[in-house]
Amino acid sequence: MYAHGHSAHELGIEMTDHGHAGDLAGPYALGACPPEEARSVADHARHCPTCAAEIAELSRVTEWIGATTARTPAPALRSRVLSAALAARPAGAERPAGAARSAGADEARRLVELYRVQVDELDRLLRRLSPP
């Protein structure tokens, strides 16, 4: 399944008019095709050297970039990343005394407040993920 549980057909991704794997070669190489589509692509590739070569090349690329195999990172990596993320958080911006009020300034303050709320939420999530 693809985006939000849709099949390739529902998203307009099809075998080409000539029966070639076309846009399905990439998802097939990633192991992202639903079983029926995977069978269709595999059946076609068994008889089509062009598509078999494309799928083989895409499979080598996905293996090379690690897209199909997950590796566990070093144990200290999580801690270092979370610590760095928390340390990099900007301090809250204070409004300068006597700042001019205008419609544009009010909108800017509203947007800054929305951003501040999102930053605060991110900080809460990072603290919750950080080791005690």
Percent of the chain at pLDDT > 90 equals 17
Residue 98 in tokens: 């006597």
- Over the stretch 15-63, which tens digit does the pLDDT of each residue have? 444 556 778 888 999 888 899 999 999 999 999 999 999 999 999 988 8
Check residue 101 and give its pLDDT: 61
Closest by CA to 116, choosing from 99, 98, 97, 94, is 94
Cα 55 to Cα 51: distance, rounded to the nearest angstrom: 6
Return the pLDDT at 6. 46
pLDDT higher for 123 or 19?
Answer: 123
**pLDDT tops 70 at residue 126:** yes
Q: Are 24 and 8 in contact (CB under 8 A)?
A: yes
C-alpha 54/C-alpha 21 separation (Å) is 9
What confidence category does residue 130 fall into, taking pLDDT thresholds of 50, 70 and 90? low
First CA to last CA distance, the chain: 38
What the block records as the tokens of 52 is 């078999």
Q: How confident is the model at residue 112 (pLDDT cuts 50, 70, 90)?
A: confident
Write down the pLDDT at residue 90.
61
